[in-house]
Amino acid sequence: MTTVIYPGTFDPITNGHLDIIERSAVIFPKVFVAVANSPSKKPLFSLDERIELARQSVAHLANVEVFGFSDLLANVIKARNVAAIIRGVRTTTDFEYELQLASLNRLLTNGVESLFFPPTEKWAFVSSTIVREIYLHGGDVSELVPPAVFNALQERCPK
């Protein structure tokens, strides 16, 4: 069975992330969504909250499993027998950064490849950072995130 991993901070998970997960789930029999702890990024939601929001967002996908991690991604990949890393790339800047990570991950995992997914046009401009900024400044993000995330944002930062 080919298992792939889609790692990220997912603070919060967006419809752009969900689109990549859904597209991956059609191609691969098993997709891990690995939520990185990433304390240096000072996330709005805790690791446990981000894991739960991701689980709620992918509940309709039987072949997707969500878990959190604090370890080096290469160690997670080895421990879970992952065949490839899924990454979304929106811009050339994303691509350059992801290309560096892909090379390092290939080295650290003895050859595990990274597969780059371009965004669906509808979600090409959406990022977690933008969603947080829009929401925290009073904007409507209801069309940019899954319903569970929108509800969590309203509870965390009521307008």
Neighbours of 82 (CB within 10 A): 22
Could you say which of 41, 60, 122, 156 is catalytic? 41
17, 30, 50, 132: which is the annotated catalytic residue?
Answer: 17
Which tokens hold the place of 141?
A: 């993000």
The answer to whether 128 is a known catalytic residue is: yes
Query: Which residues are annotated binding-site positions?
Result: 9-10, 17, 41, 73, 87-90, 98, 123-129
Tell me, yes or no, if 114 is annotated catalytic: no
Catalytic residue among 24, 128, 142, 159: 128
- 35 beta partners: 8, 68
Tell me the binding residues for substrate: 9, 41, 73, 87
41 belongs to the catalytic site: yes
- Known binding residues for ATP are 9-10, 17, 88-90, 98, 123-129
Please say if 159 is a catalytic residue: no
The CA distance from 132 to 10, in Å, is 11
Catalytic residue selected from 24, 90, 114, 132: 90
Task: Write out the catalytic residue numbers.
Answer: 17, 41, 90, 128
